[in-house]
A and B are shown apart, each in its own frame.
Chain A
């Protein structure tokens, strides 16, 4: 069965520090997709990134970067020079395609608090 583990329940850092959120997944599929979503205190779920299992290149978007390592089944997320607005719960998710639809299996989430 698909499984996603985010071992860090809560992380608290001071503004401008770099922080890495860990995500480890389990799947028997050879083709799959991984996602990160952000849930700020206002409650909505905001899409951050989608990565397929064949693309192991790291991705950078501004202060955000993602490190995908198939050998260790990990898809970690780093925020550089963190800001208070980055405070949120972050979810890693793994996809399973089912007849035209797609089931997302979410990790437990990591609550990130950036202190001024």
Chain B
């Protein structure tokens, strides 16, 4: 069984459109994340939810809106897509971090978004 899954795997769309990416984890984790990997392979965190509460919101344009209906799902909706949004978007999950104890993040397969 896939631990962290994302749909769709590929997304090709026109500038100005609105699109969503879905993420689900079956690891029983409380915390989920979205990362963006640009064309130079640089990975940067966008958002993190802990049991449906938004915890991390890195300086991401407000065209990006995450939604967590429950702790096993974290979706990413993008409005008015721009050329610069073309990237690979990774979802990840981990156990809740308590104090300074680090937890491993497990990543989904990624969604390759191409904006034309």
A contacts, CB < 8 Å to B: 29, 31-33, 35, 37, 39, 43-45, 47, 50, 52, 89, 91, 93, 95, 97-106, 108-109, 111
Instruction: Identify which of B42, B45, B109, B112 contacts A103 (C-beta below 8 A).
Output: B45
Chain B neighbourhood of A91, CB < 8 A? 43
Question: B83 to nearest A CB, angstroms?
Answer: 21
* B29-43 residues at the A interface, CB under 8 angstroms: 30-31, 33, 35, 40-43
Cα of A81 to Cα of B37 in the assembled complex, Å: 30
Query: Which residue of A is nearest B99, CB measured?
Result: A97
Instruction: Identify which of A45, A101, A111 contacts B97 (C-beta below 8 A).
Output: A101
Query: Which residue of B is nearest A109, CB measured?
Result: B41
Interchain Cβ contacts under 8 Å between A and B, 21 examples: A32-B102, A44-B108, A45-B90, A45-B92, A45-B107, A47-B105, A47-B107, A50-B104, A52-B102, A93-B43, A97-B99, A97-B101, A100-B50, A101-B96, A102-B48, A102-B102, A103-B58, A104-B105, A106-B43, A109-B41, A111-B41
B60 at the interface (CB under 8 A from A): no
Cβ–Cβ contact B55 & A100, under 8 A: yes
